[in-house]
Amino acid sequence: TSVEDWARSDQYHNSFLHSKDEALDYALQNSAAHDLPEIAVSAAQGKLLNLQARSIGAKRILEVGTLGGYSTIWLARAVPADGEVITLELNELHAKVAQENLDHAGVSGKVRIIVGPAHESMRRLEPAPPFDFIFIDADKPGNRDYFTEAKRLVRKGGVIIVDNVVRYGRVADPEYTDQMVEGVRTLLKALEGDTDVDATSIGTVGDKGYDGFLYAIRK
Ligand code: SAM
């Protein structure tokens, strides 16, 4: 089975479950027009994040890795009018394009983009009031540091999700030793015996290929 088959399968399911969404389409087109890499979550994954945030009644969400704000739009739509999404991005162009996309989607009143290295930005954030939901999707070597800060910032019973933890099965394949794969392994090793969270990883396959999410609940 190839990525094309997986993409077709995603499109088939989405055709029943998703409606046409001008703001999300615009976000992807505007991001491509500014040459941002095409590494946003898929539509199905974005909607899953939205549903997961809503299922715990999330009001405060932290995102690590904004890119063009595609996942940010999904997350912003999950919080009520008095909720907030803080999203962290290193790259100024990405942040600028994301701001345009959030404005266009009509959600910028609920979103604050903080530009800078995510680890530093996270260390400056206070856990009062804490976050309900944290989505980690930036540089993979930073995963363990981001997860450590996320545990400090999230409420008890809150959710931490990390994207790209499977990487076509390469994370489990000793032949691969690149820094992305190693970044995931370092996180997994840190989670072994970590009594602060309960976690699992779940493979995903679709128009973004074969990858996976780590899903954790703060105890
Ligand atoms: N969450 C986005 C989505 O699904 O639409 C995709 C995020 S993309 C996979 C990763 C982003 O993290 C890129 O925009 C990159 O510039 C940013 N990034 C990389 N290193 C970073 C760092 N040290 N601090 C903050 N952001 C960083």
Q: pLDDT of 164-207, one tens digit each?
A: 999 999 999 999 999 999 999 999 999 999 999 999 999 999 99
Ligand 1 atom nearest to CA at 63: 1
Strand-strand pairing, 84-89 and 111-115: parallel
Percent of the chain with pLDDT over 70: 100
| Single-letter code of the amino acid located at 199 | A
26, 122, 137: which to mutate for ligand 1, most atoms within 8 A of CB?
A: 137
Q: Looking at residue 162, what is its pLDDT?
A: 98
Predicted-assembly ipTM surpassing the 0.90 threshold: yes
**pLDDT at 21 > cutoff 90:** yes
Q: Which two tokens stand for residue 199?
A: 């976690």
The residues lining ligand 1, judged by C-beta closer than 6 Å to any ligand atom, are 39-41, 65-67, 70-71, 88-91, 94, 117-118, 137-139, 142
Q: Which two tokens stand for residue 1?
A: 């089975």
* CA 139–ligand 1 middle distance (angstroms): 6
Sheet holding 154-163, edge to edge: 111-115, 84-89, 60-64, 131-136, 154-163, 209-218, 197-206
Q: Which two tokens stand for residue 209?
A: 């290929």
What single string gives the DSSP state of each residue in 151-189?
HHHEEEEEEEEEE-SSTTTGGG-TT---HHHHHHHHHHH
* CA 16–ligand 1 middle distance (angstroms): 30
Supply angle C-alpha 125, 39, 158, rounded to 5. 35
Which residue's alpha carbon is at the smallest distance from atom 10 of ligand 1?
A: 138
pLDDT tens per residue across span 70-129: 999 999 999 999 999 999 999 999 999 999 999 999 999 999 999 999 999 999 999 999
**pLDDT at 1 > cutoff 90:** no
